[in-house]
Amino acid sequence: MTSDPFRSPLPSPTRTAGLARLRHFVEDAGRAYASLRNHDLPGHPHVSRLSAHVRHRLVTEEEVLATVLGRHSRAAAEKFVQEVYWRTYWKGWLERRPSVWTGYRAGVLRGLDRVAAETGLRDRWQAACTGETGIDAFDHWARELVQTGYLHNHARMWFASIWIFTLRLPWELGADLFLRHLADGDPASNTLGWRWVAGLQTPGKTYLARADNIARYTEGRFSPRGLATEALPVEGPPNPPAGPMPCGGAWDPDLRTGLLLTEDDLSPGFLTARGLLPSGIGLLAGDDARSPLETAAPVRAFTSAAIADMAARQTDKHGALAGPWRGDDAVDAAFDWASGFRQIVMPWAPTGPARDRVDALARRLDAAGIPLVRVLRDHDAAAWPHATHGFFRFREKIPTLLSRHAA
C-alpha cells in the first residue's frame, strides 16, 4: 500500500510559533469558523491547529480567549469559544471522577491481553492501527494520525465510531491508539470523547458515523462502504458521582522553594506573577507513560521540543532545568532533586499519566516532611466547579466565565 504524503499541520512546538498561529487564525475565529469548522480538508485550513500548544499550555486558554474576543463579539465567536471550553469542561469532569481514568487504564490492559490471546481480534486491531481495513476514510485517517500526530476533530469522531461499531474493537484500545499518537493527546478529552462515542459518557447516547456525512464534510474525498447502521451502547459501569472540587494550596514565601513542572503546563509565569521566587526548576514528565505500549516518536519529539522551549524561556529566571525525568526511575530522580528544597510548588497537574507520577512523588515527599503545593490557575478554578453534569449545563456558565475577557 502506498502511503499518502502527509505533512504535519501543527505549528512548531514553541510558544512563539503558537502565538503567531493564534494571530494568523484570529480573523477566522468568528462566523467563518462556525460555518466551516466541521470540514475535514487537506491542511485543515478552517480550524486553529493550536490544540497541541494549548494541551501543553505553551499558549494558554486565557490567551486564546482574550485574543479571539478582542477581535470578535461573543456572539460571532460563540462556536470557537465553546470548543475552547470543551477542553476545560472535560478536564474538570475527569478531575472530579479520577476513577474513570483508572478504569480506562485497566481497560487498555484487558484489551491488550485479549489481543495477545485472540487471533481474530489481533488481526482486526493491527489492520485498524496501520490503516489496512479497506474502509477508505478510516484507513486515510489511521495513516494521517501515525504520520502527523494530528487529526481533525470531526475525523476523530468518525474514526472512533467506525472503530467501535463497524470494526467492533474495544474502545479503550482506540483511545490508547490516539493517546499514543496525538501530539495534543489530552487524557481527559481523549478518554471522555471516546466514552461519549461509545455511549458510556452520556448513558445510551452514541455517535454513529454515516457515509453521507463523511462524504459531505470531506467534500467527496471519501465514500466509505460497509459502515455499521446502528450503534448500540457499549456496556460499562455507570458514571461515578462528582467528587469534591480540587483545592489549590498556598506556599510559604520564607522557605527555599523548588518549582516543579510537568508537560501539562509549560507556562509557569502565572506563579511568578503571584510572587513565587523559586531557587530551582525541575520537570517530571509523563509523555512516555501515556500507554503500556510505546508513545509515538512524533509525540515524544513534540513534547521534548516544547519542554526545551520552556526551559530556554525560564533559564535566566530560575537557572537550568533539572530533568525532564522519565522512565521507571523518574519519581526517584525527582525526589532526589526535590530533597534539596524545603517545599515544592507546581501548577496543578490534571488527571493523567504525569499526575500519576506527581501523586507517587507527593507520597515520597510527604513521608520526608517536604510539602508539595499544587496551585490552580484562575481559569480552571473558575470553570471546574461547574463540570458536574453534561456540557450543555456547563455551557450556561460560559458567559459568566468570560467576564474576565474583553467583550
Give the separation between CA 149 and CA 89, rounded to whole angstroms: 23
Place of cell 455499521: 228
**Structural domains present in the chain:** 15-95+384-404 (1.25.40), 100-217 (1.10.579.10), 257-375 (3.40.50.620)
User: Which residues have a Cβ under 8 Å from the Cβ of 52 and sit 6 or more positions away?
Assistant: 10, 13, 149, 150, 183, 184, 302
Q: What is the pLDDT of residue 204?
A: 86
pLDDT tier at 405, thresholds 50, 70, 90: low
Q: Is the pLDDT of residue 26 over 50?
A: yes
**pTM of the complete model:** 0.95
User: Going edge to edge, which strands form the sheet with 343-347?
Assistant: 321-325, 280-284, 257-261, 343-347, 372-375
Q: Is the pLDDT of residue 4 over 60?
A: no
Please, is 89 exposed, middle or buried when counting C-beta atoms within 10 Å of its C-beta (0-12, 13-18, 19+)? buried
Query: Which region among 71-75, 246-250, 343-347 has the lowest average model confidence (pLDDT)?
Result: 246-250
Q: Is the pLDDT of residue 1 over 50?
A: no
Residue 30 contacts residue 72 (beta carbons within 8 Å): yes
- Percent over 90 (pLDDT), the chain: 94
Q: What is the pLDDT of residue 55?
A: 98
Residue 160 grid cell: 472512533
**Average pLDDT for residues 312-334, to the nearest whole number?**
92
Among 237, 229, 184, which residue's Cα sits nearest to residue 211?
229
Give the separation between CA 41 and CA 22, rounded to whole angstroms: 20
- Kindly report the average pLDDT of the chain as a whole number: 95
Q: What is the pLDDT of residue 403?
A: 87
Give the separation between CA 348 and CA 358, rounded to whole angstroms: 10
Q: What is the pLDDT of residue 406?
A: 45
DSSP H or E segment with residue 25: helix 15-25
Give the separation between CA 386 and CA 401, rounded to whole angstroms: 10
Please count the other Cβ atoms lying within 10 Å of the Cβ belonging to residue 394. 23
Give the separation between CA 335 and CA 358, rounded to whole angstroms: 10
Residue 345 contacts residue 260 (beta carbons within 8 Å): yes
Q: What is the pLDDT of residue 3?
A: 45
